[in-house]
Amino acid sequence: MDLLITAGVLLASALAGILGSMFGLGGGILIIPLLTLGLGIDMKDAIGASLIGVIASSTGAAGRYVGEGLVNIRLGMLMEPATTLGSIAGAFLAIYLNQSILALVFAAVLLYSAFYMYKRPELTVHARREDLCQYLDSCYVDRRTGEKIEYKVHNLRRGLLASFAAGNMSGMLGVGGGIVKVPAMNVWMGVPMKVATATSNFMIGVTAVAGAIVLYVNGLVSPVLAATVALGVFAGANIGPRLVRRTAGRTLRQYFALVLVAISALMALEAFGIMGGA
Amino acid sequence: MEDVDRRLDRYISLVLRAGMLLSVMVMVAGLVLFILSPGPVESIPIEHLPGELMSGSPVAIIALGILLLIITPLARVIAAAVVFAVDREYLFVAASLAVLAVIALAIAV
């Protein structure tokens, strides 16, 4: 890699790290097109590097978010097996289903979630007792306002089903599951937006590990490129949570809706064969 | 009981930060050595990694850093399982073990 490409990779990964860590998306959806379309790197190398980047994004951001008490670790631990199982099932189902139709259906679901998240107010059921802060129902202190926010997790079953579906989609379409899990937690389960994105960040690393190990053992992770991506992403993933600290949950939710629209547009383009590899 | 929860947060955050720091240090060291003495960039088969590390190959050091990064999320699942076990929250011990089992399954198939 020459110097200019290296600088480009670092910059692109830092950007992916910032956005991924702010919205709980991992950032693979950004890293792959930036590396392949933007910098002309081979798709094969980009996939391995992007998976490593997703782990870096999750590890870097979750380290901060967990420290700030934003991550609902118990909820994350319950959703993780469902997501990972879903992604294995998805990898098998992908062989039998039409990718384009699938991508279009998925794009439509994302667009609907975007509309919902943009228009409707957040419906969090506040936990009544202070001592509820220790189990699935939890609480956090909003660093922007200094306010202590308690919330209840409901619809756990529907949420677990959504995580399975999220994993499924990521297995079939190569899109990160965070894009489904964040709206599922926020809209269905009544988890405040900041907790939803932080918890999604926390989970993504574990979901990516299986794929990363398979690629690594088979020599499909190019070390120099992957390490450069990881370092860039780490830098970004340490900036994203700081930005979130200054952002209101409501604003973060509206930005997330815009990200959903952008991704569903990308998927529709891909489905019509205009652009590959997002 | 709030202290219990903060303790879980503290341990998990510690594992994640330590993993990040360690892998960054190893990757940066490897990259610096690589820049000083550029060589072939192809990935090293995992069975050759220990030998290549012994001979001080920069790419092997970078690969080790990446391996440390990959291991970090697993380490935090194990750390969570231990904390949950100590606190006798068996549902969450089971969930943690299920995560590890599913990852093993994914690697096997």
Strands (E), chain A: 138-141, 148-151
Residue A275, pLDDT score: 53
Check residue A124 and report its DSSP letter: P
Q: What CA–CA distance (Å, rounded) separates A231 from A10?
A: 7
Q: What is the pLDDT of residues B30-79, one digit of tens each?
A: 999 999 987 777 777 788 888 888 888 899 999 999 999 999 999 999 99
Residue B69 is part of which domain span? 2-108
Length of chain B: 109
Q: Name the percent of chain B lying above pLDDT 70.
A: 95
Interface test mutation site (partner B, options A68, A206, A221, A225, max chain B beta carbons within 10 A): A206
The three-class DSSP label of residue A141 is strand
Say whether residue A93 is in contact with chain B using an 8 A CB cutoff.
no
Q: Do A55 and B6 count as a contact with CB atoms less than 8 A apart?
A: no
Residue A100, pLDDT score: 82
The answer to whether position A277 is within a domain reads no
Residue A145, pLDDT score: 86
Say whether residue A231 is in contact with chain B using an 8 A CB cutoff.
yes
Residue A264 is part of which domain span? 3-271
Q: What is the pLDDT of residues A155-190, one digit of tens each?
A: 888 888 888 888 888 777 766 678 888 998 998 888
Q: Chain B partners of A52 at a C-beta cutoff of 8 Å? A: 66, 69-70
Domains identified in chain B, total number = 1
Q: Do B102 and A81 count as a contact with CB atoms less than 8 A apart?
A: yes
Q: What is the pLDDT of residues A13-51, one digit of tens each?
A: 999 999 999 999 877 778 888 898 889 898 888 988 999
User: Span B1-9, mean pLDDT?
Assistant: 67
- Could you tell me which chain A residue has the CA closest to the CA of B74? A206
The answer to whether position A278 is within a domain reads no
The answer to whether position A48 is within a domain reads yes
The answer to whether position A191 is within a domain reads yes
Say whether residue B79 is in contact with chain A using an 8 A CB cutoff.
no
Q: What is the pLDDT of residues B70-109, one digit of tens each?
A: 999 999 999 999 999 999 999 999 999 999 999 998 888 7
Q: Do B66 and A227 count as a contact with CB atoms less than 8 A apart?
A: yes
Residue among A67, A84, A133 whose CB faces B103 most closely:
A84
The answer to whether position A276 is within a domain reads no
The answer to whether position A123 is within a domain reads yes
Identify the residue whose tokens are 């792959």. A32
With 90 as the cut, is the pLDDT of residue B19 above it?
yes
Residue A187, both tokens: 């809209």
pLDDT band, residue A278 (cuts 50/70/90): very low
Domains identified in chain A, total number = 1
The answer to whether position A225 is within a domain reads yes
Q: What CA–CA distance (Å, rounded) separates A216 from A1?
A: 20
User: Span A130-145, mean pLDDT?
Assistant: 74
Q: Do A216 and B70 count as a contact with CB atoms less than 8 A apart?
A: yes
